[in-house]
Amino acid sequence: MHLFVYGTLRRDAGHPMHGPLRECARLRGRGRTRGILYMIGERYPGLVLDATAGWVTGELYQLHRPAVLERLDEYEGASERDPEPREYRRVRAPVRLDDGRDHSAWIYEYAWPIAGRVVIASGDFLRREG
């Protein structure tokens, strides 16, 4: 089972919630998926998947303990305990590693309205401007 992360869960983002991935998953490599990346507030991004859009950069992890997804669902506002409409939803989508291999992975997709949100033009949360 794979998880693609593109924002605060990336290892170089410096967020403490990367800890569960460090403990329960193996980094398969840098990769990308098709979509549009938005800044949500001042500290984190939201991805809207779109097969016709540009690339969004992130990391692909192979999960050793699938139960870690429950903890990450809570962090992302995608848990069954979160009220509807949830901020994110966990969906499966295609991911391409930098070495050209394709995988299907879980991804947290932003689910709230995007009107007025700033697009991260580079598609890379860690290389955003501002």
Per cent of the chain over pLDDT 70 is 99
Q: Which residues contact 52 (CB under 8 A, 6 or more apart)?
A: 34
- Who has greater pLDDT, 29 or 41? 29
Averaged pLDDT, 30-34:
98
pLDDT of residue 130 exceeding 90, the answer is: no
3-state secondary structure 49-85: ECCCCCEEEEEEEEECCCCHHHHHHHHHCCCCCCCCC
pLDDT of residue 49: 98
Domain that holds residue 52: 2-127
Q: For position 15, which CATH number holds? A: 3.10.490.10
Per-residue confidence (pLDDT) for residue 99, from 0 to 100: 95
Q: How many domains does the chain have?
A: 1
pLDDT digits (tens, 9 = 90+) for 35-66: 999 999 889 999 999 999 999 999 999 999 88
pLDDT tens-digit map of 67-94: 999 999 999 999 999 999 999 999 999 9
Query: To the nearest whole number, what is the mean pLDDT of the chain?
Result: 95
Q: Is the pLDDT of residue 5 over 70?
A: yes
